[in-house]
Amino acid sequence: MKKRTKALSSVQIILLGFLGLILLGSVLLSLPISSASGTSVSYVDALFTSTTSVCVTGLVTLPTVHTWSIFGQVLILLLIQIGGLGVVTVMAAFMLFFRRKMGMDDRILISDSFNLTSMEGIADFVRKVIRTTLVIEGIGALLYMMVFLPEFGIKGIWYAIFHSVSAFCNAGIDLIGDQSFCPYVLNPLINFTTMFLIVSGGLGFVVWFDILNHLCDRTRRGFRFFSLHTKIVLVVTAGLILGGAVLFFLLERNNPLTIQPYSFWEKAMVSLFQSVTTRTAGFASIPQENLTNASALLSVLLMFVGGSPAGTAGGVKTVTIFVLIITTLAVIRSKRTVDVFHRQLASEIIKKALAVFLFSLLVVVGSTFLLLLVQGGDFMNILYETVSATATVGLTRNVTGSLNTAGKLVIILTMYLGRIGPISLAFAFSTNNSTENKVVNPAEEVMIG
Q: Is residue 267 part of a domain?
A: yes
128 — pLDDT class (breaks 50, 70, 90): confident
Mean pLDDT of the region 121-143? 90
pLDDT of residue 311: 80
Full residue range of the structural domain in which residue 341 is found: 2-428
CA distance 193 to 175: 16
Mean pLDDT of the region 173-196? 94
CA distance 163 to 144: 8
pLDDT of residue 390: 94
Q: Is residue 150 part of a domain?
A: yes
Mean pLDDT of the region 89-93? 77
197 — pLDDT class (breaks 50, 70, 90): very high
Task: With a cut of 70, say whether residue 243 has pLDDT above it.
Answer: yes
pLDDT in tens, 358-372: 999 999 999 999 999
pLDDT of residue 442: 84
Burial class (CB in 10 A: 0-12, 13-18, 19+), 429: exposed
Burial class (CB in 10 A: 0-12, 13-18, 19+), 200: buried
Largest CA distance in the chain: 72
pLDDT of residue 59: 94
Q: Is residue 443 part of a domain?
A: no
pLDDT of residue 279: 85
Please list the residues that pair with 68 across neighbouring strands.
35
pLDDT in tens, 347-360: 888 888 898 899 99
Question: Nearest 5°: CA angle at 169, between 286 and 350?
Answer: 100
Lowest mean pLDDT among 1-10, 147-156, 166-175, 262-271: 1-10
Please state whether the predicted TM-score (pTM) of the whole model is above 0.75. Answer: yes
Task: With a cut of 60, say whether residue 25 has pLDDT above it.
Answer: yes
Q: Is residue 34 part of a domain?
A: yes
Task: With a cut of 50, say whether residue 1 has pLDDT above it.
Answer: no
Mean pLDDT of the region 64-92? 90
Who wins on pLDDT, 229 or 162?
A: 162
pLDDT of residue 329: 93
The tally of domains found in the chain comes to 1
92 — pLDDT class (breaks 50, 70, 90): confident
Q: Is residue 360 part of a domain?
A: yes
Angle of helix 293-305 relative to helix 264-277, nearest 10 degrees?
Answer: 40
pLDDT of residue 409: 97
Q: Is residue 205 part of a domain?
A: yes
pLDDT of residue 5: 43
Q: Is residue 371 part of a domain?
A: yes
pLDDT of residue 106: 67
| DSSP per-residue string spanning 140-168 | HHHHHHHHHHHHHTTHHHHHHHHHHHHHH
3-state secondary structure of 345: coil
- Mean per-residue pLDDT of the chain: 88
Q: Is residue 332 part of a domain?
A: yes
pLDDT of residue 88: 73
4 — pLDDT class (breaks 50, 70, 90): very low
pLDDT of residue 114: 66
pLDDT in tens, 306-316: 988 878 888 99
